Amino acid sequence: MSYCRQEGKDRIIFVTKEDHESPSNAELVADDPNDPYDEQGLILPNGDINWNCPCLGGMASGPCGSQFKEAFSCFHYSKEEVKGSDCIDHFRNMQECMQKYPDLYPQEEEKETKTQTEVVPDQDSSPPSSVSDSDVLSHSSSPTDSQRAS
Amino acid sequence: MLKCRAVWRKLAPLARSASTQCRHNVKTALNNGRRQAFVPATHMSTGPAGGGGSENTLYVVLVGAACLGGGAYAYMTVRGDSKRYEERISELASRSAKEAPESQPPVAPEPEEAAPTSEESAPVAELSGETESASEPVAEVPPEAVEEAPPVVEEAPPEPQAEVLEALPAVVESAAEEPVTEAPPAAEPETVQEAPTEPAVTSLPESAPAPEPVSAPLTLPSHAPYLLIGGGTASFAAARSIRARDPGAKVLIVTDEPNLPYMRPPLSKELWFSDDPSVTETLRFKQWNGKERSIYFQPSSFYVKPEELTSAENGGVAVLTGKKVIQMDVRGNKVKLDDDTEISYDKCLIGTGGVPRNLQVIEKAGDEVMNRTTLFRKIEDFKSLDNVSRNVKSITIIGGGFLGSELACALGRRSSETGLEVIQMFPEKGNMGKVLPEYLSNWTTEKVKKEGVRIVPEALVKSVAFKEDKLEILLKDGRQVKTDHIVAAVGLEPNVDLAKSAGLEVDSDFGGYRVNAELQARSNIWVAGDAACFYDIRLGRRRVEHHDHAVVSGRLAGENMTGANKPYWHQSMFWSDLGPDVGYEAIGIVDSSLPTVGVFAKATSKDTPKAATEQSGTGIRSESETEATAVTPVASSTPAPVMEHKDEYGKGVIFYLRDKVVVGIILWNVFNRMPIARKIIKDGEEHADLNEVAKLFNIHED
């Protein structure tokens, strides 16, 4: 059973697991997916890519940012059966650019970004969720991305 | 032109009086004409053939002359102005070209230093073509224009070979486009050629066959579309945001530190726990999961050199280190640096952060005390404190907040190896006394003591003196502490140096520049990070000194600088670790003077910061927020035993209330649930039963 204690203005409640088993009746306000103030995920409500998404880390803003944007945009809007198969040139440009900055884009990442093109990611607002991407992103992103991409 | 003016001046009064006279005449003439009303109108009364005769003629002549004079004057003024402008521009161009040759000698390697400068415009300008057989294959050529044949070649009178020769193809001013060559001393007049000079290829790694004129690209930019003052977390986050949203953006960061942008939290935490003895040089640290990283946000290859920023094809971020912005001209959209150069901008961010506060008693105590006091904020402070901690026997930390407590724990850990005495003193009753409710503050203090720190609570420093090779700290209640070194962690003074020259408002309650909800101070000026006192739509006006806030506000400022116009809405969080067993994440207004409701469960060994990061496979806890959706949790290899804590506050969630609305939440040893906390604060609702709200956090689970 939960146990309550008051110390001045501070209230302390101790709860067991059983106490918290029943679902909460606290009411949360429904989120408006189109709220312009809210942090956006990778894909904006209008379908565009949010280049400022923390999940992308520094990919869109670094020295190879424009190549990355081209490649990823092409991939995103690609209507081919094998998604992104028409974007090979862009990805090659991006890879060439990245090879010039090995300490920014460690070489093993190229293989992973490549594998990403072969995988069809979700079109909704979750970030590219393949495990390899988290490696890609955590290298350049981490300390400035303390918010979860929602 | 001046003559014209003088003439005009002389004429003017005459013309005026003449014209008034004439107008008068005309009026009378007209009136007369009117009286004669319906006389055939073909006659014009002012015409030479008309009425008025000679007076009118004079009038016409004078007015005509006046008009002509005025027109001529205007024309001459415009012409003269444009001529002056042209002259000025060409003078500037020639001046910059003159500078280029000056900078060539230091830039280009000079195996044989022919002469000090190339400024000398010798009456004899000798140009010697370089032949393969030339014995002294030195023709220093600026990288920009190597193969161009200088248009002007003059025959040189025979000159002694020994004479140190300076060659200028021509006086630079007259032809700014010529390359500058230094003639090899052994050159002979006969070898003067008009052929393009062969550069001494071996001596000039930089020579590029560019046909462009010398345009001196080696100067720092005088204009930056995006100028970020301050090279900390907020500026870096803004730079990233700007680059993401404005393709090809050129961003210039100006910082008075010698370092590229870096993150601050590891300076008081992870860097101290590193096993690497060279950590003060590498500034790399191992995260809990073994992954190593540098405190620098990006290595130097990420950035563009400031000199190359303006010409960078895809733009970039450039960092100008070691320069301080001392003045800001808001009307003229430009800033002045401490070396008197000016940089103009289109959009500007002020991310100047702050300077650690000091205790007055220490400042007044004299040099011996000041030299043994550290105000901790920057990389150099970390290096110096690390050094000190290895060489003294006792360190006292004054201050019981985040920084003080973290440093105390870090040094306390070290004390177990070196026998260093670590003392922490503060006015409150317990660590984090201004943040945590009293019961939790007390519990935390016990934890800090376990890290090897001697705590001196309720301590108000009365005086500090240097006696017998020790610092003597005298407290107001009579207690005395003797120590070798002091670390003062008593707060941050936001840096508002530019407020006066820029005419920006400073907040009197919280300090810092006053900005609106969109972080804007003036039309083209934004402020982010520690220095920004901003309006938080949900929580009211505040100023936040945390890392994540710098990231969030820097990002937002960058977005708004590129046209987003979004207010501060995504609430930033903060965290602290006090040793491996106590860690918490928090969001919103977390002030111990507010009434709180804490909901706790018993903790298991799984509920520590270490376990949390191991499980999510990430390093710094702030990362796990981002990665939460991306990474599958790694199941812990051994089942964790339920650890009995003597005290009851193993893990839980604490709500801070203001007028019955939750304005702040602490997640105590409970991780990866920040989004729920953020949601509750965002809603801003009154909840009747906070225990029900606490259920949302699933505190009993991992």
User: pLDDT by residue (tens digit) across B526-578?
Assistant: 999 999 999 999 999 999 999 999 999 999 999 999 999 999 999 999 999 88
The tokens of B76 are what?
A: 């001459």
Minimum distance, in Å, between the CA of residue A80 and any CA atom of chain B: 26
At residue B93, the pLDDT reads 62
At residue B69, the pLDDT reads 79
User: Out of B299, B316, B683, whose CB is closest to A28?
Assistant: B683
More confident position, A138 or B93: B93
Minimum distance, in Å, between the CA of residue B634 and any CA atom of chain A: 13
Average pLDDT over residues B146-162: 39
Best residue of A2, A10, A122 to probe chain B, by most B CBs closer than 10 Å: A10
Span B499-532, pLDDT tens digits: 999 999 999 999 999 999 999 999 999 999 999 9
Give the SS3 label for residue B576: strand
Minimum distance, in Å, between the CA of residue A5 and any CA atom of chain B: 10
Q: What is the percentage of chain B residues whose pLDDT exceeds 90?
A: 56
Q: What is the percentage of chain A residues whose pLDDT exceeds 90?
A: 11
Minimum distance, in Å, between the CA of residue A107 and any CA atom of chain B: 15
Q: In chain A, which residue's Cα lies nearest the Cα of B585?
A: A146
CB B516, CB B522: distance < 8 Å = no
DSSP per-residue string spanning B427-473: SSSSTTTTTS-HHHHHHHHHHHHHTTEEEE-S--EEEEEEETTEEEE
Span B626-646, pLDDT tens digits: 443 333 344 444 444 444 444
At residue A32, the pLDDT reads 83
Nearest to B183 by CA among B165, B198, B200, B169: B165
Residue ranges, chain A, pLDDT below 50? 110-112, 115-150
- Rounded Cα distance between B386 and B325, Å, is 30
Nearest to B661 by CA among B618, B693, B695, B633: B693
Name chain A contacts of B689, Cβ cutoff 8 Å: 25-26
* Contact assignment for B700 to A62 by CB distance below 8 Å: no
Q: Chain A neighbours among B 316-345 (CB < 8 Å)?
A: 316-317
Best residue of A52, A122, A136 to probe chain B, by most B CBs closer than 10 Å: A52
Nearest to B600 by CA among B474, B697, B486, B475: B697
Give yes or no for B548 touching A (CB within 8 A): yes
- Rounded Cα distance between B487 and B278, Å, is 23
Average pLDDT over residues B338-358: 96
Name chain A contacts of B248, Cβ cutoff 8 Å: 66
Name chain A contacts of B237, Cβ cutoff 8 Å: 144
- Rounded Cα distance between B567 and B604, Å, is 40
Span B158-215, pLDDT tens digits: 344 434 334 333 333 343 333 333 333 333 434 434 343 333 334 433 444 444 444 5
At residue B207, the pLDDT reads 40
At residue A39, the pLDDT reads 79
What contacts 24+ positions apart, CB below 8 Å, involve B331-335? B333/B524, B335/B227, B335/B229, B335/B254
In the predicted structure, residue B475 carries a pLDDT above the cut 90:
yes
Minimum distance, in Å, between the CA of residue A93 and any CA atom of chain B: 14
* Contact assignment for A63 to B243 by CB distance below 8 Å: no
Give yes or no for B247 touching A (CB within 8 A): yes
pLDDT band per the 50, 70, 90 thresholds, residue B105: very low
Give yes or no for B567 touching A (CB within 8 A): yes
The tokens of B368 are what?
A: 């011996």
In the predicted structure, residue B676 carries a pLDDT above the cut 70:
yes
CB B552, CB B572: distance < 8 Å = yes
User: Out of A16, A29, A139, whose CB is closest to B685?
Assistant: A29
Name chain A contacts of B547, Cβ cutoff 8 Å: 143, 146
Residue type, A97: C
In the predicted structure, residue B449 carries a pLDDT above the cut 50:
yes
Mean pLDDT for all residues in chain B: 77
Give yes or no for B298 touching A (CB within 8 A): yes
* Contact assignment for A22 to B248 by CB distance below 8 Å: no
* Contact assignment for A13 to B691 by CB distance below 8 Å: yes
More confident position, B232 or B112: B232
pLDDT band per the 50, 70, 90 thresholds, residue B585: very high
Give yes or no for B144 touching A (CB within 8 A): no
* Contact assignment for B244 to A145 by CB distance below 8 Å: no
In the predicted structure, residue B580 carries a pLDDT above the cut 60:
yes
The tokens of B54 are what?
A: 């000679």
Minimum distance, in Å, between the CA of residue A92 and any CA atom of chain B: 18
At residue B612, the pLDDT reads 66
- Rounded Cα distance between B563 and B37, Å, is 69
Span B270-290, pLDDT tens digits: 999 888 889 999 999 887 677
pLDDT band per the 50, 70, 90 thresholds, residue B217: low
φ and ψ at residue B536, rounded to 5 degrees: -95, 115
Name chain B contacts of A126, Cβ cutoff 8 Å: 629
User: Out of B291, B595, B691, whose CB is closest to A2?
Assistant: B691
At residue B153, the pLDDT reads 38
At residue B72, the pLDDT reads 77
In the predicted structure, residue B395 carries a pLDDT above the cut 90:
yes
User: Out of A15, A36, A146, whose CB is closest to B548?
Assistant: A146
CB-hemisphere CA count at 13 Å for B226?
A: 30
- Rounded Cα distance between B128 and B320, Å, is 40
Give yes or no for B660 touching A (CB within 8 A): no
CB-hemisphere CA count at 13 Å for B266?
A: 30
In the predicted structure, residue B241 carries a pLDDT above the cut 90:
yes
* Contact assignment for A10 to B679 by CB distance below 8 Å: no
